[in-house]
């Protein structure tokens, strides 16, 4: 099989040929609700039904300071529309009107002018408009990600009022409500975890597999890997995975690093953010895609990129056979700021090197043997240098720290025998549970997966139920970007209001349940 590399332009052309046709559906008849403070609710806010109904709304006069909140009953991504009509004396001034869009009630309770988080406040979903002439049918041009919309009248004049009717969402996704076979279980919570996962994935499947339709609305490699796995057991939209693989292939740098993310609106722009592990996950996505589809053309065209990515990563292995990732190309693993990530990085390198060997076999790469030898060498060095036989756990970094991420990635890399993997997770369960210091569903996914893969079925289900189940208890319609059950206000960016509450990398319960327990639950 020839392994000739294409140019960026060629890769992007294939990506463009696999652009999805977005499917739209209209969601109307929302309920009208009111916002209340509640110390027990997520970030202190909940909604309650209002006495106003949609029918009575159309006859209500709105003036300066009046507000109404629509609740569409579930999370959607799309455009909001509403009819506005003036009432009373002639309209002697423009209408000033504002909108807030929220995935969760707490976003409505937050005053955006007080936001001091690390990333741009412009992600906060709000809009302020002047409308010169009524009546009008307004459909906002920007796409939002939301369940709730608060409409506030900033001003009319003392002469006239405005009346509101027919609010709706034109919802969009790359995928339709296809017939996904229901999860085979009588367990109501597991059914709900599966449904919410699928909804999360669906709302993130847009022009690319986005990380979060509220924020960053962008293709990230780490998120893509998990979305593609969940897609394999649900929507099976393989051309979207293919599109995203080609977008990353065309974005590889001249020094062989694959960017962590790519912007795809208007034009394709690779970001200048790089994570060591994300670059390697290109190999995982390619291997999984080829395993699912047997698409040998894609494998041939993308294999050279995978090879450049693994070769580049291997240049950071030292004489002892250990990965030393450079400061400007760090290993991400989780948003946790408290765990050492060195050993998890070694685990990820081994995990992806083994996957690379699988695809190298498929293309009959002449260098196959040397990669197989490297798997053996790096495995030996990991066991020799990083496994602490006294504690029976892997240690990480200069402080020889013991943390859950190291154990999990070593289990997932399967460098130990199945029996030793089981013993390792037994010890992790004893010493490192309940989990602390991990703050994303992304890393929790890997913990659950490591439990399944080390023959800890019950503990895996228990963790799925307690972690993702807690988000549901807190009102999740879709799963979240960040969630630390020990610190509900946690945000990687300094304010939970900027967090995304429909986030791709949290959609994996559907994958974990369908892959690891099809006939058991």
Least distance from ligand RAM to the Cβ atom of residue 496, Å: 13
Q: Residue 254 is encoded by which pair of tokens?
A: 């001249």
Does 332 interact with ligand RAM (rule: CB under 6 A)? yes
Least distance from ligand RAM to the Cβ atom of residue 127, Å: 23
Does 110 interact with ligand RAM (rule: CB under 6 A)? no
Does 469 interact with ligand RAM (rule: CB under 6 A)? no
CB 375 within 8 Å of CB 353: yes
Return the residues of window 405-444 that contact ligand RAM according to CB under 6 A: none
Number of residues that bind ligand RAM (CB under 6 A): 8
77 vs 415 by CB, closer to ligand RAM: 77
109 vs 259 by CB, closer to ligand RAM: 259
Give the CA distances from residue 305 to residues 248, 249, 252, 334, in Å, rounded to whole numbers and listed in that order.
Answer: 9, 6, 8, 25
Does 222 interact with ligand RAM (rule: CB under 6 A)? yes
Closest CA to 163 of 62, 89, 69: 62
219 vs 357 by CB, closer to ligand RAM: 219
217 vs 381 by CB, closer to ligand RAM: 217
Determine which helix (DSSP H) or strand (DSSP E) holds 105, and give its type and residue range: helix 105-109
57 vs 201 by CB, closer to ligand RAM: 201
Select the residue interacting with ligand RAM from 211, 342, 453, 484 (CB under 6 A): 211
Q: Please compute, for residue 336, the number of CA atoms within 13 A of its CA located in the half-sphere on the CB side.
A: 23
167 vs 212 by CB, closer to ligand RAM: 212
Select the residue interacting with ligand RAM from 107, 194, 203, 216 (CB under 6 A): 216
Place of tokens 């960040």: 482
- At a CB cut-off of 8 Å and minimum separation 6, what does 334 contact? 405, 438, 439, 440, 442, 443
Does 481 interact with ligand RAM (rule: CB under 6 A)? yes
Q: How many C-beta atoms surround the C-beta of residue 362 within 10 A? A: 16
501 vs 505 by CB, closer to ligand RAM: 505
Q: How far apart are CA 518 and CA 20, in angstroms?
A: 30
Q: How far apart are CA 322 and CA 306, in angstroms?
A: 21
Least distance from ligand RAM to the Cβ atom of residue 350, Å: 21
Q: How far apart are CA 63 and CA 50, in angstroms?
A: 19
Least distance from ligand RAM to the Cβ atom of residue 332, Å: 6
Q: Which stretch in 76-84, 219-227, 228-236, 512-520 sits in contact with ligand RAM by CB under 6 A? A: 219-227
Q: Which stretch in 20-28, 214-222, 309-317, 412-420 sits in contact with ligand RAM by CB under 6 A? A: 214-222
449 vs 454 by CB, closer to ligand RAM: 449
37 vs 120 by CB, closer to ligand RAM: 120
Does 277 interact with ligand RAM (rule: CB under 6 A)? no
332 vs 351 by CB, closer to ligand RAM: 332
CB 82 within 8 Å of CB 151: yes
Closest CA to 255 of 301, 309, 300, 303: 309
- At a CB cut-off of 8 Å and minimum separation 6, what does 324 contact? 316, 317, 318, 342
Q: How far apart are CA 142 and CA 487, in angstroms?
A: 33
Main-chain phi, psi angles of 480, to 5 degrees: -105, 160
306 vs 504 by CB, closer to ligand RAM: 504
Q: How many C-beta atoms surround the C-beta of residue 324 within 10 A? A: 11
Select the residue interacting with ligand RAM from 103, 194, 203, 223 (CB under 6 A): 223
Does 505 interact with ligand RAM (rule: CB under 6 A)? yes
Least distance from ligand RAM to the Cβ atom of residue 500, Å: 7
Q: Is 158 helix (H, G, I), strand (E, B) or coil?
A: coil
Closest CA to 206 of 245, 252, 237, 249: 237
The residue whose Cβ lies closest to ligand RAM is 211
Q: Residue 238 is encoded by which pair of tokens?
A: 């393989």
Give the CA distances from residue 125 to residues 29, 51, 115, 122, in Å, rounded to whole numbers and listed in that order.
Answer: 22, 26, 13, 8
Site string for ligand RAM, 280-319 (x = CB under 6 A): ----------------------------------------
Q: How far apart are CA 148 and CA 13, in angstroms?
A: 38
Q: Which stretch in 61-69, 218-226, 250-258, 303-311 sits in contact with ligand RAM by CB under 6 A? A: 218-226
Q: What is the dihedral of CA 328, 334, 339, 343, to 10 degrees?
A: -70
Least distance from ligand RAM to the Cβ atom of residue 149, Å: 24
Least distance from ligand RAM to the Cβ atom of residue 222, Å: 5
Q: Which stretch in 75-83, 217-225, 246-254, 371-379 sits in contact with ligand RAM by CB under 6 A? A: 217-225
Q: How far apart are CA 47 and CA 429, in angstroms?
A: 38
Cross-strand pairs, 33: 49, 69
500 vs 510 by CB, closer to ligand RAM: 500
Least distance from ligand RAM to the Cβ atom of residue 228, Å: 14
Applying CB under 6 A, which residues contact ligand RAM? 211, 216, 220, 222-223, 332, 481, 505
């Amino acid at each position: 099989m020839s392994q000739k590399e294409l140019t960026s332009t060629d890769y992007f052309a294939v990506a463009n040929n696999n652009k999805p046709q977005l499917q739209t559906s209209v969601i109307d008849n929302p309920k009208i609700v009111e916002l209340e403070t509640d110390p027990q609710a997520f970030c202190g806010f909940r909604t309650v039904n209002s006495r106003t109904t949609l029918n009575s709304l159309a006859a209500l006069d709105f003036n300066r300071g009046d507000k109404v909140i629509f609740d569409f009953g579930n999370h959607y991504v799309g455009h909001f529309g509403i009819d506005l009509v003036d009432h009373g004396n002639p309209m002697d001034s423009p209408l000033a009107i504002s909108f807030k869009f929220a995935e969760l009630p707490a976003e409505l309770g937050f005053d955006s002018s007080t936001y001091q988080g690390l990333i741009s406040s412009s992600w906060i979903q709000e809009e302020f408009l002047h409308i010169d002439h009524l009546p009008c049918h307004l459909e906002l041009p920007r796409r939002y990600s939301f369940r709730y919309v608060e409409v506030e009248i900033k001003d009319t004049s003392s002469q006239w009022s405005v009346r509101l009717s027919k609010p709706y969402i034109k919802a969009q996704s790359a995928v339709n409500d296809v017939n996904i076979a229901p999860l085979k279980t009588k367990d109501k919570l597991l059914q709900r975890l599966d449904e919410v996962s699928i909804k999360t994935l669906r709302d993130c499947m847009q022009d690319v597999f986005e990380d979060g339709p509220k924020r960053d609305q962008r293709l990230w490699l780490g998120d893509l890997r998990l979305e593609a796995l969940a897609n394999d057991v649900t929507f099976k939209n393989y051309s979207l995975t293919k599109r995203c693989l080609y977008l990353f292939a065309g974005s590889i740098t001249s020094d062989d690093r694959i960017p962590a993310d790519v912007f795809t609106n208007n034009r394709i722009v690779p970001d200048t953010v790089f994570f060591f592990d994300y670059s390697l996950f290109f190999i995982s996505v390619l291997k999984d895609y080829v395993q699912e589809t047997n698409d040998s053309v894609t494998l041939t065209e993308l294999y050279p990129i995978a090879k450049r990515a693994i070769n580049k990563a291997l240049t950071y292995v030292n004489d002892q056979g250990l990965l030393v990732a450079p400061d400007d190309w760090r290993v991400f693993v989780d948003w946790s700021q408290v765990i050492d990530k060195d050993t998890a990085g070694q685990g990820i390198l081994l995990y992806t090197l083994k996957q690379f060997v699988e695809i190298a076999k498929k293309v009959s790469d002449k260098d196959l043997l040397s990669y197989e030898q490297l798997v053996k060498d790096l495995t030996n060095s990991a066991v020799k240098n990083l496994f602490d036989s006294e504690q029976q756990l892997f240690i990480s970094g200069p402080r020889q720290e013991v943390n859950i991420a190291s154990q999990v990635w070593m289990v997932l890399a399967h460098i130990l025998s199945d029996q030793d993997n089981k013993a390792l997770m037994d010890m992790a369960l004893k010493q490192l549970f309940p989990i602390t210091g991990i703050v994303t569903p992304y890393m929790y996914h890997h913990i659950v997966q490591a439990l399944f893969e080390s023959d800890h079925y019950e503990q895996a289900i228990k963790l799925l139920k307690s972690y993702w189940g807690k988000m549901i208890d807190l009102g999740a319609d879709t799963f979240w970007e960040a969630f630390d059950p020990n610190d509900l206000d946690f945000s990687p960016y300094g304010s939970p209001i900027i967090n995304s509450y429909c986030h791709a990398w949290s959609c994996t319960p559907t994958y974990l349940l369908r892959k690891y327990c099809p006939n058991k639950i």
